[in-house]
Amino acid sequence: MACAASFAALALVVPAAGCAPQAGPGGDKKTVSYWMWDSAQQPSYEACAREFHKKNPGLRVKITQIGWDYYWTKLTSSFIAGTQPDAFTNHVAKFPQYERIGVLSPLDELGPTRGIKASDYAPGLAKPWMGRDGHRYGAPKDWDTVGVFYNKKITRAAGVSDGELRDLEWNPKDGGSFEKVLARLTVDANGKRGDEPGFDKDNVERYGLATGDAGGENHGQTQWSAFTGSNGWSYTDKNPWGERYNYDQKRFQETIDWYFGLAEKGYMAPLEDYSDTNYPEVQLGSGKAALATEGSWKLGAFAGLKGVDLGIAPTPKGPTGKRASMMGGLADSIPKDAKNKKGAAKWVAFLASDECQNIVGKDATVFPATPEGTKKAVATHRENGLDVTPFTRHIEEGTTFSFPVTDYSADVTAIMIPTMEEIYAGDSPASSLTETNKQVNFLFQQRD
């Protein structure tokens, strides 16, 4: 592929003075540079690095943590400038762009990482990291699913039991038992509940469900994806590497109509209640909301809420008769032009091994990709008095679906954000997604 074509997508994100990569510092074969964005996970991987050093005398790992907001800009810049790390934490939403322009190394062609098998990890976790050429470009490091966090003090005071919350169901016609519970947990300024006569939906003191924004940026992962999934809907014609989105389908639009209709009824916090300082866990902790659908990576944040007797329930069963949850998962990748590719391959193979995964699991910041690592995390949470089976049961029962892996993810996001926000705000019906879907799919028709 010509140089200009190779970096066309990258240039949209990071302006470059020229196409040719600038000469970077000489490679240090004794050091493996590794980038990640999650500061909460860094101590676990520092511990893994110490064990790695013992097994690989003379080889050292230098971990650099860069916040999410700047991480991808800096990484993209490094590919252009030739200053890329030897290995880095990758996200499945970003992977297609890097795979398409050829800046990643096939892990199955590097000795230490050649033996990585999909069967070593949670079902479905490894597949999204396979490129269109059949090569593997990511070594799974963790997984996440979605559950329902709640404050037991509030739910029990409303007469809603833990058992009831564990067995909720929903449908797009009347919302099922899930909507009834939300109504019961919602209270207006006069003390009226959402299921009582005289309830004032325009003057709510506590919402049944917290808001996590409209979900246009993350395909509704922690907002509506569990509902669209349990209604039998799929994002694309195939996954990974789909070339047609399905936002025009009835099952999706009826789910979105119902979901954002909860805000119109006063049962879910309005869009304007969400901000960078008012995440769902903040809304739950302040008593502004009773329930919050969120990812397992937020376990620490919810468990740390003062004055909250935390409970976790699984996502409600949908019209399919089953629950559903998007399963996210990060992976470690190696740039094609890594200065210390051999050392990076050894490090990435170690990160994907049970030895490192068990260290991460014991810390329990995330659920590690391997079954052994997951068991360690579950045990740690149990010791801390937290039942995390609402997250793990999705894996055990096979009710997960993958984040959509397609080209043009940034463009799809740019199209979807304003549309979903308009629907959430009540300015557009879900049927407007039919036209939006045409815009999204037009991206794939213009492929060169």
- In this prediction, residue 431 has a pLDDT band, given cuts at 50, 70 and 90, of very high
Averaged pLDDT of the chain: 93
Q: How far from 103 is each of 18, 79, 89, 156, 248, CA to CA, in Å?
A: 17, 7, 14, 53, 34
Q: Looking at the predicted structure, is the pLDDT value of residue 24 above 70?
A: no
Condensed to tens digits (0 to 9), the pLDDT of residues 284-331 reads: 999 999 999 999 999 999 999 999 999 999 999 999 999 999 999 999
Signed CA dihedral, 356, 361, 364, 367: sign only: positive
Write down the pLDDT at residue 447: 66
| DSSP codes, 204-218 | EEEEEE-----STTT
- Residues composing the chain: 448
* Best CA proximity match to 203, nearest among 218, 216, 221, 186: 186
pTM of the model: 0.91
Q: Which helix (H) or strand (E) holds 181?
A: helix 176-185
Are 428 and 214 in contact by the 8 Å Cβ rule? The answer is no
Count how many Cα atoms sit within 13 Å of the Cα of residue 389 in the half-sphere of its side chain: 5
pLDDT score at 26: 41
For the record, the structure tokens of 75 come out as: 């990484």
In the chain, the domains with their CATH numbers are 25-142+331-386 (3.40.190.10), 146-327+408-445 (3.40.190.10)
Average pLDDT estimate for 40-69: 96
pLDDT of residue 20: 33
For residue 29, the model assigns a pLDDT of: 85
178 in Cβ contact with 258 (< 8 Å)? no
Record the tokens describing residue 274, joined without a space.
Answer: 């969400």
